[in-house]
Amino acid sequence: MPSTVVHVAFAGLIGTALLARHFDAKSIFIVMAVTAAIDLDTIIDIWIPGAHRAYFHNLVFPTLVLLALWWDVRWREESYVKGKWGDWGVRVTWVSMVALIFGHILLDAFFNGVNLFWPLHDRFYDLSGELLISDQRGLVQTFIDGETAEGTVEDTHYTTGVNPTPGETPEDVERRFPIAGTGERFVLTITGFAVVAFRLAEERRRE
């Protein structure tokens, strides 16, 4: 599964692209921090088995935030977000949610699955697969098929360095904290952090 480091790097790419003129050290830090924060459900998983990739790894929370932001900006007479943080706050909020959805939740969904609609619907969805064009079968996708939906919070556990085994963890068990599990994810990680660093350096030169 992608590590938190990979998610943060991916969020850095998304944030750098979408923050536009509102890009600065504070805004990109917020985007990357929000994207990383949902992995805190690994800690909850110690006491509530199945919490990881469910309690925070779902589309319900970011969707509610985006709807609240849309209502606040478009329908209130005076926007709370704009009044407190201006256009910068609006941009950072929605970019953070976009980075959270695509840079973490959906990325995990395509690597071993997440509980996409928890708590409204308790079911893990594993979208691991491939998309290809075959000279015999035409366009083929295996992301969504009859085996996409899997277990629930009660019977699903994802091994992490914080909680490697469900229940009591033996003292001699290896705790692994991955950084980049494949070459592709390593390249993504290096690229993401390099792009953010380059943009920050560019902003400093302009100042």
Asked if residue 151 is part of any domain, the answer here is no
Residue 140 pLDDT > 90: yes
Q: How far is residue 159's CA from residue 70's CA, in Å, rounded to a whole number?
A: 37
Asked if residue 143 is part of any domain, the answer here is no
Residue bearing tokens 């494949």: 182
What pLDDT sits at residue 154? 86
Asked if residue 74 is part of any domain, the answer here is yes
Q: How far is residue 143's CA from residue 129's CA, in Å, rounded to a whole number?
A: 4
Asked if residue 38 is part of any domain, the answer here is yes
Q: How confident is the model at residue 150 (pLDDT cuts 50, 70, 90)?
A: confident
Total domains in the chain come to 1
> What is the rounded average pLDDT of the residues 158-162?
83
Q: Are 151 and 122 in contact (CB under 8 A)?
A: no
Q: How confident is the model at residue 201 (pLDDT cuts 50, 70, 90)?
A: very high
Residue 149 pLDDT > 80: no
Higher local confidence (pLDDT), 7 or 142: 7
Range of the domain at 41: 4-121+182-206
Asked if residue 193 is part of any domain, the answer here is yes
Residue bearing tokens 């943060």: 8
**Full 3-state SS string of the chain:** CCCHHHHHHHHHHHHHHHCHHHCCHHHHHHHHHHHHHHHHHHHHHHHCCCCCCCCCCCCHHHHHHHHHHHHHHHCCCCCHHHHHHHHHHHHHHHHHHHHHHHHHHHHHHCCCCECCCCCCCCCCECCCCCEEEECCCEEEECCCCCCCECCCHHHCCCCCCCCCCCCCCCCCCCCCCCCCCCHHHHHHHHHHHHHHHHHHHHHHHHC
181: left (phi over 0), alpha (psi -120 to 50) or beta: alpha
Asked if residue 45 is part of any domain, the answer here is yes
Asked if residue 162 is part of any domain, the answer here is no
pLDDT tens digits, one per residue of 77-115: 899 999 999 999 999 999 999 999 999 999 999 988 999
Asked if residue 136 is part of any domain, the answer here is no
